[in-house]
């Protein structure tokens, strides 16, 4: 790997704009709100902000349904606000990474409005249309990821169009060269504004061939990415990260090996599915096996080698809060949140922190579907009711895995609405904001915030964290996730007790220096000790 890229040493912070900070009292976070919190992010030490979509959108899927790529959603502000955000972030050494959603648009995008009017429209072929089958039925049995068929009949057009997500999110036809060029022009519009790169939403779906039932990793996918690289960000040292649900290490090398000239890195989700019943959906839960987690992380740490680059994450806007999911948000919230942070941030790759993760925000359970905003959760609820599931069973799944868990407003202080807004929040706050908030975290020198700050500093100051080799320690109890990072004669040991139980641990070596420990009274004996619940540390050997 070329070691000259800023993004290999970076730590990225994801902002979900609707829930971060409201500046005008309408209950919806906005760009001016983000600008007002940049000093906080600078204090944390992050290098870049991945900004979930702020483009014009009717908000069927909270901004991931775009009606105009070159305008800002009214609720979020103006293009002038966006330009101010880019420049104010830059002053603090922070780059803005835009969320690029080009697998689909909104059905309210001018391209789709024109496409449905006439088969002769130049925009018709920007989307994927099919006639009904001979018997009048659906073109084929492709399913939408949000439930139901992926085909929607359009009365005006007299044909079906493809939507792998909501029916208000028609899929773009990447086989059309004019469509591809229009996308590249839009990307260059943003590059010219001085952004630091793109996070690419479901990018592995753009090579789809629906007639063959192929959605992910289609045969022309990598051709399109090479063309995109050449037409837009190639040679500009921008961060480009692809959301690739189906990636294996071999596929990830194709995306992220600099020789291939495609992307900087990918988000791969193999670890994310480990608490899901095999062959079922994300709503069908099984307990996490720590041995499998170790296996998956170790595979990605070692098999990419120097031929690709990895991203590191526990949370994002689509996933439940990690401290509630695999930590312990009741008795050991602080310890388990710190453990999860230490375990992840000492690995090789670019780490991503999701807003509120750095203060240990938790899932926010609901008791009724009326409290749920997320379209995916709502669709699943009504589908499963028809299939005979009980309301209680379905709500258990939503409380464990629903996307609203990540989207409750950021908890800034213990005042009304957690300092997020002076109005009525668009989504109810987690009631625990009076205890869990930024103000309280900054006052407490042992808070989760300062663990994240320290982890970011360790990465900035130590090439070992970025470039070092990774070796999993296999002779441990199942609940102990321990590994060694080594670089140019230096060795660090990272140990995490992924358990509420006290667990024995021993290994060879002596401790030169304790670099970070999630228990403030940390004493460490490598030659035989008992790890406390969720205990984690990093030591120089």
Q: Does 374 qualify as catalytic in the annotation?
A: no
Q: Which helix (H) or strand (E) holds 56?
A: strand 55-56
Sheet of strand 95-100, all strands in order from the earlier edge strand to the far edge:
265-267, 239-243, 197-200, 95-100, 48-51, 12-15, 350-354, 311-312
> CB of 473 within 8 A of CB of 507?
yes
Which is catalytic among the residues 22, 65, 154, 201?
201
Q: Torsion over CA of 11, 17, 20 and 21, rounded to 10 degrees?
A: 130
Of residues 195, 184, 259, the one with CA closest to residue 227 = 184
Give the whole-angstrom CA distance, residue 173 versus residue 177: 9
> Measured between alpha carbons, how far is residue 206 from residues 11, 186, 423 in Å?
27, 16, 40
Residue at token pair 């007299």:
158
Q: Is 243 labeled as catalytic in the residue annotation?
A: yes
- The residues, any chain, with a CB within 8 Å of residue 417's CB and separated by 6 or more, are 409, 423, 425, 429
User: Tokens standing for 521?
Assistant: 């009274």
Q: Given the residues 30, 171, 204, 243, select the one marked as catalytic.
A: 243
Round to whole Å and give the CA distance between 1 and 93: 24
- Contact status, residue 462 vs residue 468, Cβ threshold 8 Å: no
Distance CA 351, CA 345 (A): 6
How far is it, in rounded angstroms, from Cα 34 to Cα 80? 14
Coil, strand or helix: which one is 503? strand
Mind telling me the catalytic residues? 201, 243
């Amino acid at each position: 790997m070329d070691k000259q890229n800023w993004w290999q040493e970076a730590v990225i912070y994801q902002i979900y704009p609707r829930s971060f900070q409201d500046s005008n009292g309408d209950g919806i976070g906005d760009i001016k709100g983000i600008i007002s919190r940049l000093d906080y992010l600078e204090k944390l030490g992050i290098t870049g902000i991945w900004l979930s979509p702020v483009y014009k959108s009717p908000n069927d899927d909270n901004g991931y349904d775009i009606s105009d790529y070159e305008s800002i959603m009214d609720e979020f502000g103006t293009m002038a606000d966006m330009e101010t955000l880019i420049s104010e972030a830059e002053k603090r050494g922070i780059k803005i990474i835009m969320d690029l959603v080009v697998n689909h648009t909104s059905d309210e995008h001018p391209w789709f409005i024109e496409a449905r009017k006439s088969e002769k429209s130049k925009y018709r072929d920007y989307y994927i249309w099919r006639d009904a089958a001979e018997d009048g039925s659906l073109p084929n049995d492709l399913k939408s990821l949000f439930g139901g068929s992926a085909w929607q009949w359009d009365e005006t057009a007299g044909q079906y169009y493809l939507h792998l997500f909501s029916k208000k999110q028609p899929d773009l036809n990447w086989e059309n060269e004019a469509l591809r060029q229009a996308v590249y022009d839009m990307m260059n519009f943003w590059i010219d504004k001085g952004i630091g790169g793109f996070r690419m939403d479901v990018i592995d779906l753009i090579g789809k061939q629906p007639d063959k039932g192929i959605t992910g990793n289609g045969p022309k996918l990598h051709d399109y990415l090479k063309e995109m690289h050449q037409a837009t960000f190639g040679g500009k040292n921008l961060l480009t990260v692809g959301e690739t649900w189906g990636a294996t290490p071999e596929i990830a090398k194709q995306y992220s090996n600099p020789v291939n000239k495609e992307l900087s890195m990918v988000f791969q989700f193999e670890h994310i599915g480990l608490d899901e019943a095999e062959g079922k959906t994300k709503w069908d839960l099984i307990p996490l096996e720590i041995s499998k987690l170790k296996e998956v992380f170790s595979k990605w740490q070692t098999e990419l080698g120097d031929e690709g680059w990895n991203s590191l994450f526990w949370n994002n806007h689509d996933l439940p809060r990690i401290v509630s999911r695999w930590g312990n948000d009741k008795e050991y919230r602080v310890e388990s949140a710190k453990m999860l942070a230490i375990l992840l941030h000492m690995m090789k790759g670019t780490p991503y922190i999701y807003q509120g993760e750095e203060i240990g925000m938790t899932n926010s359970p609901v008791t009724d579907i009326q409290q749920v905003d997320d379209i995916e959760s709502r669709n699943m609820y009504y589908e499963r009711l028809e299939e005979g599931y009980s309301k209680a069973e379905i709500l258990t799944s939503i409380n464990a895995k629903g996307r609203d868990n990540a989207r409750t407003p950021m908890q800034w202080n213990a005042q009304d609405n957690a300092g997020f807004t002076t109005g009525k929040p668009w989504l109810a706050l987690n009631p625990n904001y009076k205890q869990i908030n930024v103000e309280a975290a900054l006052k407490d020198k042992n808070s989760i915030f300062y663990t994240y700050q320290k982890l970011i500093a360790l990465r900035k100051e130590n090439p070992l964290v970025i470039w070092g080799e990774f070796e999993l320690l296999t002779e441990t109890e199942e609940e102990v996730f321990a590994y060694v990072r080594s670089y140019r004669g230096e060795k660090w040991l990272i140990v995490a007790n992924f358990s509420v139980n006290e667990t024995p641990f021993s290994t060879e070596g002596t401790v030169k220096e304790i670099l970070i420990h999630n228990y403030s009274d940390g004493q460490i004996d490598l030659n035989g000790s008992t790890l406390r619940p969720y205990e984690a540390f990093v030591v120089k050997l």
